[in-house]
A and B are shown apart, each in its own frame.
Chain A
């Protein structure tokens, strides 16, 4: 099959959007509507794999849509980092739709048509972010992503959902308009280009003060990376239905954030420049603080989704940290952690949703003895938790390993201590759930009549993602090899 590369790239971004009319058309026929989503997700995965093969074959993959202002284009260019992100998002979209079918119906949610439509648009925006050729294109899709996930966060329409939505949109839009946009404009005025360039776009001898200010603006402006103190939106977003929390607020949206940070560090500043900036050290401290503080807060959360949300903030800190370490291993570890954390965290959220649908429980303290009723769910939870903690035989082992190597390369030895401490904290607050479920007896008041696992599509989805955590442990080698193709200089 022959398809021009431009068409292939455009289709990759447009396929989810093309599904929207179908979803709206079949709004009243559930099965057809979900079939449209599934077909679109399958097609998108196929397209991404196709892109991946062409990239492996050495083809230059680029496309341009419009030139908004002279020199300012909406254009796309496929490189390993973005490719990996696109692959993760597209394949997990498929799994999430399968999961959502079980969850949304099992839970009798309202407005499901709007839900699936917005979801598809969000995925399209993620594809745009992943494949963007320049910072401007990335920014455009970043904003689209904020806006089209807003209806998903406020899905329930309750006062709590509205409040959550307000915080969500408020923080994401304010940071992007007040920090990200000016940083981008200054970059544009200073260097005359926003294209992602290996080694950075700034000329030798650009003022250190200016670069430092810009780096800080970018670090905070990309609110989706949830670097403290701009992390509040993430727990707020947890009012959304669980499939949204799973794919968007554990994978797509937050990863779009850290992905942006990584792109900016590698392709706008260049890792050498970042390493030489005095402000980088402070950003590393900040990322470390974010990792530890978020873990500490997570320990105090009784609500499962809130606990997972803070765990996400902490894990995002790893990726941001790796970016600011600005060494080859740091960047590699960050990129790898995007993939590993995605598989792990989506499984955890799937499990949280499954527990909610099957047993109507949302609090950690209510889980006692539930493991006997939902063995598969809690087994999957355990595997995913191990991956987040970074223990073999799960994928998370490798990303943490590489990040530690990066820290050593950059002579930031205290980072090793932070990472080790964080792993310990992870063990405490993540393994508490399966421990309660499997080891404690169910409270006497609970009769055994109701219970069992979640609807089968949901169960299937969470088993698949849990397995992928293990598979990633054994396939990390080729992935790392692929990611080493990121041109750093």
Chain B
């Protein structure tokens, strides 16, 4: 049983999705999805423990050995991400029943949970597999279900946002497919480790270079790297609140994982460095993302949208870490993957609670929220402080590692810009705080605090933001080893 964990991780939500459809009633579907997600989380914990103690796991699907069969390959990096994705999905699901009931039409709620499970299966599949084509398959599974989830939003603009994402996402997926096809053409294999061994021989050909370019651009579309981010704010802003929390905490993380996996494991860290200044490009784009997205976030009147733009900015930080190309930079990126999932989870969950009670997340409608929903407001403030990077929160740990990594490379202007960027976060968080705490609520409003079932998971995330900001042993040691392993792989 234990040796089958890698496939169980993916197959469980994949099979649960159609079963969920049979259940029919939304409440049942929610319970079932939650149980499935919790089980997936349990599996990912076991996997991480196994990998941590015994090293990477190789699992051959149907007993067909790689490179002929499909291999699932779990090392520290994806075990860590599997845990992030499955646990965030579980926590967010725990708090979403009411929010979904309020925001999604009754006859579509079951469908909502089916799509959620499919999306979860797709994300976990991308992470678990060691096969390049398999990546594409699961990418499509998760993307298609994401389009569905977004289009279920209450606002009619959700359809347009979903359609926009569909177009961009499909272009991205197609690019990735073309890249994988070109690689297959040159090497005759789709297994990632096999590819890693065979690519260096043909590395100088234009075909492989084109493959590289297609894959990187395709993945960057999916992870909403500036300037390919335009789909993200709309998608996040108009999706149902629960979906936004889920996607912000997981989907972009998986895309960053793909970028890391392709550029470090498959192509090797040095590939392309000769011909194009990719590292410098990443740092530059990352910085532009931080500044432009943060500035736009300051101007938003809908807070959900503002926090969505903040996601683009935070992805910028992750890309800067990658662009540094050092072990420290990579570790900073991996740490921020984890930490960002926690803070964005907390922020979007609190906005989900606001949307549930207020029916809106516009800045003006948040007036006096601290009096009506004190716990939700406080959760938003703490999540925001973590986003800013105040000490004793996870955000500070990310920033600390990223700044040290840039200084190690002697890039002090980048370090300064990173810190100045976090001041912009102060601005877009604080305008919300001022409205929530210092404006009186409209006299007519009868809003009360969010229900316990929403507050509990929300505060679980908030506490995690603080806990992992103090006891950093787990994320720091896992990411340090994962970064070392990634850099050692090519050599």
User: Which A positions have Cβ atoms within 8 angstroms of B?
Assistant: 66, 68-69, 74, 139-140, 143-144, 147, 151, 154, 157, 161-162, 165-166, 169-170, 173-174, 177-178, 181-182, 185-186, 188-189
Q: Which residues of A contact B422 (CB under 8 A)?
A: 177
Which residue of A66, A154, A162, A170 is within 8 Å of B470 (Cβ)?
A66
CB distance from A17 to the nearest CB of B (A): 13
User: 7 closest pairs, A vs B, by CB?
Assistant: A140-B391, A157-B438, A174-B423, A185-B403, A177-B419, A143-B391, A162-B438
Rounded to whole angstroms, the CA-CA distance of A66 and B397 in the bound complex is 14
**A-contacting residues, B401-441, CB 8 Å:** 403-404, 407-408, 415-416, 419-420, 422-423, 426, 430, 434, 437-438
Tell whether, in the assembled complex, residue A185 and residue B391 are in contact, meaning their CB atoms are under 8 Å apart. no
Please tell me if the beta carbons of A139 and B438 are within 8 angstroms of each other in the complex: no
In the complex, which residue of chain B has the Cβ closest to the Cβ of A177?
A: B419
Interface flag for B390 (CB, 8 Å): yes
Closest to B440 in A: A157
What residues on A are CB-neighbors of B430 within 8 Å?
166, 169
- Decide yes or no whether B453 CB sits under 8 A from chain A: no
- Number of B interface residues at 8 Å Cβ cutoff, please give it: 28
Asked if A69 and B423 make an inter-chain contact with CB atoms under 8 angstroms apart, the answer reads: no
Q: Would you call B423 and A182 a contact (CB within 8 A)? A: no
Give the secondary structure class of B's interface: helix
Most chain A C-beta atoms within 10 Å of own C-beta, residue among B388, B391, B397: B391
* B residues adjacent to A (C-beta < 8 A): 385, 388-392, 397, 400, 403-404, 407-408, 415-416, 419-420, 422-423, 426, 430, 434, 437-438, 469-472, 476
CA of A229 to CA of B437, assembled, Å: 30
Q: Determine the distance from Cα of A149 to Cα of B407 in the docked complex, in whole angstroms.
A: 32
Report the bound CA distance from A66 to B389 in whole Å: 19
Distance between A73 CB and nearest chain B CB, rounded to angstroms: 11
Minimum C-beta distance from B402 to chain A (A): 10
B419 near A69: Cβ-Cβ < 8 Å: no
Give the complex CA separation of A119 and B385 in angstroms: 20
CA distance A170 to B470 in the complex (A): 25
Q: What distance in Å separates the Cβ of B358 from its nearest Cβ neighbour in chain A? A: 21
Q: Note all chain A residues with C-beta closer than 8 A to B426.
A: 169-170, 173-174, 177
| A404–B404 CA distance with the chains assembled, in angstroms | 41
Contact A186 B407 (CB under 8 A): yes
Q: Assess whether A69 is in contact with B476, with CB atoms less than 8 Å apart.
A: yes
Please name the residue on chain B nearest to A66 by beta carbon.
Answer: B470
Known: A66-B471, A189-B404. A181 touches B438 (CB 8 A): no
List B contacts of A147 (CB < 8 A): 385, 390
Q: Bound complex: CA of A248 vs CA of B420, how far in Å?
A: 27
Partner of B423, one of A140, A161, A173, A188: A173
Q: Which B residues are CB-close (under 8 A) to A151?
A: 437
20 sampled A-B residue pairs with Cβ under 8 A: A66-B471, A68-B469, A69-B397, A139-B391, A140-B392, A144-B391, A144-B392, A165-B434, A166-B430, A169-B426, A173-B423, A177-B419, A177-B422, A177-B426, A178-B416, A178-B423, A185-B400, A185-B403, A185-B404, A185-B415
CA distance A247 to B404 in the complex (A): 37
C-alpha gap A410/B333 in the complex (Å): 48
Closest to A156 in B: B438
How distant is B377 from chain A, measured CB to nearest CB, in Å?
13
Knowing that A161-B438, A177-B389 touch, tell me 9 more A-B residue pairs with CB under 8 angstroms. Answer: A69-B400, A140-B391, A143-B390, A166-B430, A170-B426, A174-B426, A178-B416, A185-B404, A186-B407
At the interface, is chain A mostly helix, strand, loop or mixed?
Answer: helix
Q: How far is the CA of A183 from the CA of B148 in the complex (A)?
A: 48
B375 to chain A, nearest CB (A): 13
- Closest Cβ of chain B to A178, distance in Å, is 6
Residues of chain B within 8 A (CB-CB) of A178 are 416, 419-420, 423
Contact present for B416 and A68 (CB under 8 Å): no
**Closest B residue by C-beta to A179:** B419
Q: How far is it, in angstroms, between the C-alpha of A165 and the C-alpha of B471 when the chains are bound?
A: 32
Which residues of A have CB within 8 Å of B385?
147
A152 CB to closest chain B CB, in angstroms? 13
Tell me which of B389, B415, B470 contacts A68 (CB under 8 A): B470
Name the CB-closest residue of B to A68: B472
Contacts of A143 in B (CB 8 A): 390-391
- The smallest C-beta distance from B152 to any residue of chain A, in angstroms, reads 38
Interface centre among B388, B472, B476 (most CB of A within 10 A): B472
Interface contact B392-A69, CB-CB below 8 Å: no
Q: How far is the CB of A471 from chain B (nearest CB, A)?
A: 38
A177 and B470 within 8 A (CB): no
The answer to whether A182 and B391 have CB atoms under 8 Å apart is no
Q: In the docked arrangement, what's the CA distance between A68 and B400, Å? A: 11
Residues in B neighbouring A174, C-beta threshold 8 A? 423, 426
- Asked if A189 meets B400 with Cβ closer than 8 Å, knowing A66-B470, A169-B430, the reply is no
Residue numbers in A under 8 Å from B388 (CB-CB): 173
Min CB–CB distance B407 → chain A (angstroms): 6
B416:A182 contact, CB within 8 angstroms = yes
CB distance from A265 to the nearest CB of B (A): 22
B415 CB to nearest A CB, Å: 6
User: Which residues of the other chain, B, contact A185 by a CB distance below 8 angstroms?
Assistant: 400, 403-404, 407, 415
A189 to B420, CA, bound (A): 20
With both chains docked as a complex, state the minimum distance between the C-beta of A170 and any C-beta of chain B, in angstroms. Answer: 8
**Residues of A contacting B416 with CB < 8 Å?**
178, 182
User: Which A residues touch B420, using CB under 8 A?
Assistant: 178
Contact of B415 among A139, A166, A182 (CB under 8 A): A182
What are the residues of chain A within 8 A of B392 when measuring CB–CB? 140, 144
Residues of A within 8 A of B415 (CB): 182, 185
| A147→B415 CA distance, assembly (Å) | 24
Expressed in whole angstroms, the Cα–Cα distance for A144 and B472 within the complex equals 19
Chain B nearest Cβ from A191, distance in angstroms: 14
The closest CB in chain A to the CB of B421 belongs to A177
Residues of the B chain whose Cβ atoms lie less than 8 Å from the Cβ of A140: 391-392
A249 to chain B, nearest CB (A): 20
Bound Cα distance A162, B426 (Å) = 15
Task: Judge whether B472 and A162 touch: CB under 8 Å.
Answer: no
Quick one: closest A residue to B426, CB to CB?
A173
Point out the residues of chain A lying under 8 angstroms from B419, CB to CB.
Answer: 177-178, 181-182
- CA–CA, A66 and B438, complex, Å: 35
Min CB distance A214 to B, Å, is 12
Chain A: minimal CB distance from B356 (Å): 26
Shortest C-beta distance, A341 to chain B (Å), equals: 28
Q: Which A residues are in CB contact (< 8 Å) with B472?
A: 68-69
Q: Which residue of A lies closest to B433 (CB)?
A: A150
Q: How far is the CA of A188 from the CA of B422 in the complex (A)?
A: 21
How far is B398's CA from A68's CA once the two chains are assembled, in angstroms?
12
Tell me, rounded to whole Å, the shortest Cβ–Cβ distance linking B391 to chain A: 4
Within the complex, what minimum Cβ distance (angstroms) separates A105 from chain B? 23
Bound CA–CA A74/B392 (angstroms): 10
Specify which chain B residues have a CB less than 8 angstroms from the CB of A173 in the assembled complex. 388, 423, 426
In the complex, A170 Cα to B434 Cα: how many Å?
13
Considering the chains assembled together, what is the distance between the CA atoms of A162 and B472 in angstroms? 36
Q: In the complex, what distance in Å separates the CA atom of A178 from the CA atom of B476? A: 25
Closest Cβ of chain A: how far from B67's Cβ, in Å?
40
Residues of B within 8 A of A154 (CB): 437-438
Nearest CB on A from B368, distance (A): 11
A83 to B184, CA, bound (A): 70
Question: CB-CB < 8 A to A69: which residues of B?
Answer: 397, 400, 472, 476
A143 to B392, CA, bound (A): 10
In the assembled complex, which residues on chain A have CB atoms less than 8 Å from the CB atom of B407? 185-186, 189
CB neighbours (8 Å) of B471 from chain A are 66
Task: Report A104 CB to chain B, min CB distance, Å.
Answer: 19
Bound-state Cα–Cα, A94 to B137, Å: 67
Inter-chain CA distance A319–B408, complex, in Å, is 35
B382 to chain A, nearest CB (A): 11
Residue of B nearest to A213 (CB): B412
The docked-state distance in angstroms from the alpha carbon of A74 to that of B415 is: 24
Residues of A within 8 A of B438 (CB): 154, 157, 161-162
A188 to B415 CA separation, bound complex (whole angstroms): 15
- Shortest B82–chain A CB gap in Å is 25
Complex Cα spacing A188 to B400, Å: 11
Min CB–CB distance B440 → chain A (angstroms): 8
